[in-house]
Amino acid sequence: MDPLSAAMKIAGSGLETQSTRLRIVSENIANARSTGDTPGADPYRRKTITFGQQLDRASGVETVNVKKIGVDEGDFTKEYDPSNPAADDKGIVKMPNVNILIEMADMREANRSYDANLQTIKQTRDLISSTIDLLKSGQ
C-alpha cells in the first residue's frame, strides 16, 4: 500500500475511535445525575473506553480500534436527599461515579485527536490532488 493510502487508512481509524470516545463521554455527562429507580439501587456507572491496535491485513497497516467499552468500578458518591425516589431509609442517595471535570478533559482531548486525524485526511487528500495535477500537466 502506498504511503498516502496508508495515512488515510490510519487517520480514518483514528476518526472512528475518537468518535466512539466522544459518544461514551457524552453518555457519561448526560447521566452524571442519573440515580437508581428504587431505594438503595445503584445509579449509572461511568463507562470507560480502551483502545487497541490491529493489523489491517488487506493494506498491511496497523490501525487503532476500540478494544473494549467497560465500566468504572470506582465508588459512588452519596448525597442526602430524602425526597429522591432512590433514597434509602436514611435519606441517602447513591450518585453516579461521574466527575464532570474529568469528562470535560476527556472530551477536549478526544476532540483534539479527532481534529488532528481530520487534518491528516485533508492534507493527504490535498497531496493526492496535487500529485494528480502534476501528472496531468506533465503529459
- Mean pLDDT across 110-127: 96
The pLDDT assigned to 4 comes to 86
Q: At what angle do helices 3-30 and 100-137 cross, to 10 degrees?
A: 160
The DSSP output letter for 22 is H
- Render pLDDT for 2-25 as a digit per residue (tens, 0 to 9): 888 899 999 999 999 999 999 999
Q: What is the C-alpha to C-alpha distance for residues 64 and 114, in angstroms, rounded to an integer?
A: 13
In this prediction the pTM is 0.87
Residues ≥6 apart with Cβ < 8 Å to 18: 110, 111, 113, 114, 117
The full DSSP string for 32-92 is TT---SSTT------EEEEEEEEEETTTTEEEEEEEEEEE--PPPEEEE-TTSTT--TTSE
- pLDDT-derived band at 139, boundaries 50, 70, 90: low
- pLDDT-derived band at 59, boundaries 50, 70, 90: confident
Residue 33 pLDDT exceeds 90: yes
The pLDDT assigned to 54 comes to 93
- pLDDT-derived band at 75, boundaries 50, 70, 90: very high
